[in-house]
Amino acid sequence: MIDAYALPRLFAGATNRPLSLEDHERVFAPTGEVASLLEELDASGLVGRGGAGFPTTRKVDLLRHQRGHKFVVVNGMEGEPAAHKDNRLLSTNPHLVLDGAEMLAQMIGASRIAVCVARDNPTVVNHVERAIHERARRNLRGPGIDLHTPPWRYVAGEESALVHWLDDNESLPQYRPGRPHILRIGRGPTLVDNAETCANVGLIGRYGAQSFRSLGTAEHPGSVIVSVTGAVKRPNVLEVNLGTPLANILATAGADPSPQAVLLGGYGGAWLSGDQIHTPYSNEALAAHNLSVGAGIVAVLPRQACGVAEAHRVVRWMAHESARQCGPCAFGLPALADDLLAVVRGGRDGVAAIARLQDRCGVIEGRGACRHPDGVVRFVRSSIEAFAHDIDSHLRGAPCAGARAKQRFLTVPALEHEEDLVWE
Amino acid sequence: MGVIRRSGMFVLQVNPILCDGFGHCAELAPELVHLDEWGYPIISQEPVPMADIGAYESARYAERGCPRQALHVTKMNSPAPVSNVTMNQPRPVSRGRRPL
């Protein structure tokens, strides 16, 4: 039995194999001992771990008052190439995630649970399939659990795209004119939650809100799973207490002690300058720098790297991953990537490009059906701000050493041909 | 176009997925819509008072003239934004006919 007041909680009992149902029951306390799940969830102050940081209790409240054949969707798609947290969680403690999903289903009165894992991770798919079979063999009462394997795309993990896939086999985001908007599979209202959020619900439903709040900060309680990548000796997935100084997390992963900048929140996120790495890692402390924890991604950029060249690679890939449904995203993001390339090449074209880049960022922002273009705009703006010095030297025709070195630090998958992209 | 409402506000909204950049809206409602460099509409999300009859009529023309039917005029009774819907209260159940 674990101590729910200490780390590791989500990764408790983790080995290099997924915990079987028997081991899972030995490690964690039995479920169903909490008086009222809804009150505990409300008191816990859990915010979603998928990136947007939306309070889970508000989502549950919204869905609870809907009628119809409801669904709970566990989002284990892991769209970000720099993240590994959902994969790691589902291949160590899959039953904790499924427990949380069952509790959510109980709270909103859902009759089916859909677990979504990208089909590009065959190992994780097997682990989850096995966990679902283990539960089915127990013949426990409860909502039926299905495994779904959409294709891996950056936007396929976006909630409306995921629901679209479950509804109609197309991983394309949907238009949602007014917020809050209830996503539906067929006519059934659907609750979409990240796998890590579900695992946290699984903990809250066992040990209650008080033990959940014993870690983390007042406004952003709990622990979070962080994927540390980039220029680190040990790229790793760590479970940390929210509010830990970022420098400690970086030191654990063996990062460069004085990095140039740290990318937080994934490729739709923003840069934190290297001299501010002592900031506590939680939403309330990072909000002062216009940052957020997001999906728990920390990518370290060392001093010798060229920030502009890295930003160009990321934006080029993000533009390529657009679903090409909305004009501003389909045409605007490649235009941003072209502008960044002009800045990397420098000279007079670059000077024009940097002004154009600012204008285009303003034009594109907020005009897509999903938040994909907004994320890219945020990343571009933050890159312009964080690497102003690099951009200056590029525009003067003296590109930094990092641009000449051809060594790159951020993980970016290879660009596929547009016709080879699988959306269904 | 039916009864002219003088109270309340409206917003012209575009469904960016349906929109293919035909550009008719910018010609039919030049006071509300202008086009970006790729020909897609940029529409201000500020609510416009319904009393501005010219703007409202152009918005209706743009809505009806869109070849992809991607535009929608959303009417609001108060100047509050659309997203500010109260969430946790169930909708009141109507009992019989509304009093006239």
Q: Is A363's CB within 8 Å of B42's CB?
A: yes
Residue B31 touches chain A, beta carbons under 8 Å: no
Give B-chain residues touching A369 at CB under 8 angstroms: 15-17
Task: Name the residue in chain A with its Cα closest to that of B84.
Answer: A179
Residue B91 lies in a domain: no
Residue A417 touches chain B, beta carbons under 8 Å: no
Is residue A321 classed exposed, middle or buried when 0-12, 13-18 and 19+ CB atoms within 10 A define those classes? buried
Each residue's pLDDT, cut to its tens digit, for chain A (424 residues) gives 777 788 888 998 888 899 999 999 999 988 877 888 999 999 999 999 888 889 999 999 999 999 999 999 999 998 888 889 999 999 999 999 999 999 999 999 999 999 999 998 899 999 999 999 999 888 666 788 999 999 999 999 899 999 999 999 999 999 998 778 899 999 999 999 999 999 999 999 999 999 999 998 888 899 999 999 998 888 889 999 999 999 999 999 988 888 999 999 889 899 999 899 999 999 888 988 888 888 889 999 998 889 999 999 999 999 999 999 999 999 999 999 999 999 998 888 889 999 999 999 999 998 999 999 999 999 999 999 999 988 998 998 888 877 778 788 888 888 888 888 888 8
Interface size, chain A vs chain B, as Cβ–Cβ contacts under 8 Å: 60
List, as ranges, residues 50-79 from A with C-beta within 8 Å of B. Answer: 58, 61-62, 65
β-pairing, B9-14 vs A270-273, is: unpaired
Q: What is the CA radius of gyration of chain B?
A: 16
Q: What is the CATH number of the domain that holds B20?
A: 3.30.70.20
> Residue A419: CB partners within 8 Å, gap ≥ 6?
none
Give A-chain residues touching B13 at CB under 8 angstroms: 177
Q: How far is B70 from chain A (nearest CA, A)?
A: 11
So what's the pLDDT on residue A179?
Answer: 77
Which residue's entry shows tokens 């910018």?
A: B26
So what's the pLDDT on residue B79?
Answer: 47
Residue B4 lies in a domain: no
Q: Is B87's CB within 8 Å of A180's CB?
A: yes
So what's the pLDDT on residue A33?
Answer: 77
So what's the pLDDT on residue B83?
Answer: 46
So what's the pLDDT on residue A419?
Answer: 80
- Cβ atoms of residues A1 and A27 within 8 Å: yes
pTM for this entry: 0.91
Tell me the ipTM for this assembly. 0.86
> Residue A165: CB partners within 8 Å, gap ≥ 6?
A116, A148, A150, A156, A171, A424
Residue A319 touches chain B, beta carbons under 8 Å: no
Residue B93 touches chain A, beta carbons under 8 Å: no
| Distance, CA of A394 to CA of B51 (rounded, Å) | 53
Residue B89 lies in a domain: no
Give A-chain residues touching B38 at CB under 8 angstroms: 327-328, 331-332
* Domains observed in chain A: 21-213 (3.40.50.11540), 223-301 (3.10.20.600), 307-408 (1.20.1440.230)
Residue A120 touches chain B, beta carbons under 8 Å: no
Task: Name the residue in chain B with its Cα closest to that of A65.
Answer: B90
Q: How far is A80 from chain B (nearest CA, A)?
A: 23
Of B21, B40, B87, the CB nearest to A62: B87
Give B-chain residues touching A325 at CB under 8 angstroms: 16-17
Give B-chain residues touching A177 at CB under 8 angstroms: 13, 15, 72, 74, 82
- SS3 string, chain B, reads CCCCCCCCEEEEEECCCCCCCCCHHHHHCCCCEEECCCCCEEECCCCEECCCHHHHHHHHHHHHHCCCCCEEEEEECCCCCCCCCCCCCCCCCCCCCCCC
Q: Is B40's CB within 8 Å of A327's CB?
A: yes
Its domain, for residue B70, covers 9-76
Residue B1 touches chain A, beta carbons under 8 Å: no
Give A-chain residues touching B74 at CB under 8 angstroms: 177
Give B-chain residues touching A331 at CB under 8 angstroms: 38, 40
pLDDT tens readout for residues B77-100: 754 444 444 444 455 554 555 444
| Distance, CA of A5 to CA of A62 (rounded, Å) | 30
A301: enclosing H helix or E strand: strand A297-301
| Distance, CA of A36 to CA of A300 (rounded, Å) | 42
Residue B53 touches chain A, beta carbons under 8 Å: no
| Distance, CA of A291 to CA of A269 (rounded, Å) | 7
So what's the pLDDT on residue B85?
Answer: 44
Residue B2 lies in a domain: no
Residue A368 touches chain B, beta carbons under 8 Å: yes
Residue B55 lies in a domain: yes
The tally of domains found in chain B comes to 1
Residue B26 lies in a domain: yes
Question: Which letter, b or e, does each residue of A58-79 get, where b requires 16 or more Cβ atoms within 10 Å of its Cβ?
Answer: ebbbbbeebeeebbbbbbbbbb
User: Taking Cα atoms as reference points, which of A326, A308, A330 lies closest to residue A318?
Assistant: A330
Q: How far is B18 from chain A (nearest CA, A)?
A: 8
- Cβ atoms of residues A228 and A242 within 8 Å: no
Give A-chain residues touching B34 at CB under 8 angstroms: none
Q: Is A58's CB within 8 Å of B42's CB?
A: no
Q: How far is A181 from chain B (nearest CA, A)?
A: 9
Q: Is A175's CB within 8 Å of B17's CB?
A: yes
Residue B36 touches chain A, beta carbons under 8 Å: yes
| Distance, CA of A31 to CA of A218 (rounded, Å) | 26
pLDDT tens readout for residues B35-81: 999 999 999 889 999 888 999 999 999 999 999 999 999 988 754 44
Q: Is A325's CB within 8 Å of B38's CB?
A: no
Confidence band (pLDDT; 50, 70, 90) for B2? Answer: low
Residue B95 lies in a domain: no
Residue B50 lies in a domain: yes
Give A-chain residues touching B25 at CB under 8 angstroms: none
Q: Is A61's CB within 8 Å of B16's CB?
A: no
| Distance, CA of A51 to CA of A155 (rounded, Å) | 13
